[in-house]
Chain A
Amino acid sequence: MATNRIAATAAPTTDSRSVGTYWKLLDDEKVVWIARGFGIAALLNIAVALYMALWYAPTEKTMGHAQRIFYFHVPSAWIAFFAFFIVFIASVLFLWRRERKWDALALSAAEIGVIFTTLVLLTGPMWAKVAWGAFWVWDARLTTTLILWMIYVGYLMLRGTADSERRSRFSAVLAIVGFLDVPIIYFSVQLWRTQHPELLVTQSGGLMPAMTQTLMTALLSFTLLFVFLLIQRVRLEQARDQVNFIRETTE
């Protein structure tokens, strides 16, 4: 639809309710309730994951209770990577199709990705202090994760500048280039000599079954939370566009 394209937003049509509604599904009352269901399921699952992380999972011998940070630190990183993957895909689709919906999805996922990367950077040092004796070391994985956070904070700052199609294009390019850091982070423990442990979730070695179950429960709870937050954030972006359109037509 022409009205959903960025270039067409400067020339509004007479239907104020339909313009800006690029994700029609999100305004459906049933979908709103499904989104709330995701939120409630996430809350319940987080409570279960918290119980498992604190009482069900065994205490690790060398690091003690501090190792339990791992059960939410690792899912935070995985969700952040997944969020930035969505930003990458949405940015490619935006540059290809020039549809506002992909731009809005990229912005929404980037904001949530930054939140989860912030959690990684906050919880990691707490665990590192116990495991390595220092809050921060300039290790390859830690440094590349900090760079990833800075790239997407920069992306959000760019989004805060004057509203234009050029801004959307530039930020889409930044998001695509920035995503190249994600595989670098993932393979950093194999590419360079690092202090950061490599996660082994296998039957033969690595984590004990109770630890793996706790990790997977925490991952499920953060995935549900991510879906809930993403739906809410895209709905917010859509509502903003609708208000901007009404404002443009009244002025």
Chain B
Amino acid sequence: MEYLAIAYGLIAVVLIGYAFSVRRRMNAVQRERALLESKNQ
């Protein structure tokens, strides 16, 4: 039972971690874009 819990836990950690990583990178790109566009105006 403990191996099942570890396996499912690892799946959750990897998938949630990756989804947040994509979101964090997207937010960083959007912030940079807003900064560049404000400089251009």
Interface size class of B (residues with CB under 8 A): 20 to 34
A235 (CB) vs chain B CBs: closest residue: B26
Smallest Cβ distance from B29 to chain A, in angstroms? 5
Other-chain contact of B3, A127, A242, A243 (Cβ < 8 Å):
A127
Which applies to chain B's interface (DSSP): helix, strand, loop or mixed? helix
A115 near B36: Cβ-Cβ < 8 Å = no
Contact of A115 among B4, B15, B30, B37 (CB under 8 A): B15
> Are A72 and B11 in contact (CB-based, < 8 A)?
yes
Q: Is the CB of B40 within 8 A of A127?
A: no
From the candidates A68, A123, A225, A247, name the one contacting B36 in the complex (CB within 8 A).
A247
CB distance from B26 to the nearest CB of A (A): 5
A-side interface mostly: helix
**What is the CA–CA distance of A236 and B20 in the complex, to the nearest angstrom?**
13
Q: Are A69 and B14 in contact (CB under 8 A)?
A: no
Q: Which of B7, B15, B29, B36 contacts A126 (CB 8 A)?
A: B7
> What are the interface flags for A213-251 relative to B under an 8 Å C-beta threshold, 1 for contact and 0 otherwise?
000000000000100010011011001101100110010
Q: Which of A50, A73, A233, A246 is B37 in contact with, Cβ under 8 Å? A: A246
| B residues neighboring A (CB under 8 Å) | 1, 3-4, 6-8, 10-11, 14-15, 18-19, 22-23, 25-26, 29-30, 32-33, 36-37, 39-40
Residue on A nearest B8 in the bound complex, by CB:
A72
Interface string of A113-135 (1 = CB under 8 A from B): 00100110011001101100000
7 smallest A-B Cβ distances: which pairs?
A126-B7, A126-B3, A123-B7, A69-B7, A239-B29, A122-B10, A246-B36
Query: Which A residues contact B (CB, under 8 angstroms)?
Result: 50, 64-66, 68-69, 72-73, 76, 112, 115, 118-119, 122-123, 126-127, 129-130, 225, 229, 232-233, 235-236, 239-240, 242-243, 246-247, 250
B39 to chain A, nearest CB (A): 7
Please tell me which one of the listed residues B14, B19, B30 contacts residue A122 in the complex, with CB atoms under 8 A apart.
B14
Q: Can you list 29 A-B contacts with CB-CB less than 8 angstroms, sorted by A residue number?
A: A65-B1, A66-B1, A69-B3, A72-B7, A115-B15, A118-B14, A119-B10, A119-B11, A122-B7, A122-B14, A123-B7, A123-B10, A123-B11, A126-B4, A229-B18, A232-B19, A232-B22, A232-B23, A233-B22, A236-B26, A236-B29, A239-B26, A240-B29, A242-B33, A246-B33, A246-B40, A250-B36, A250-B39, A250-B40
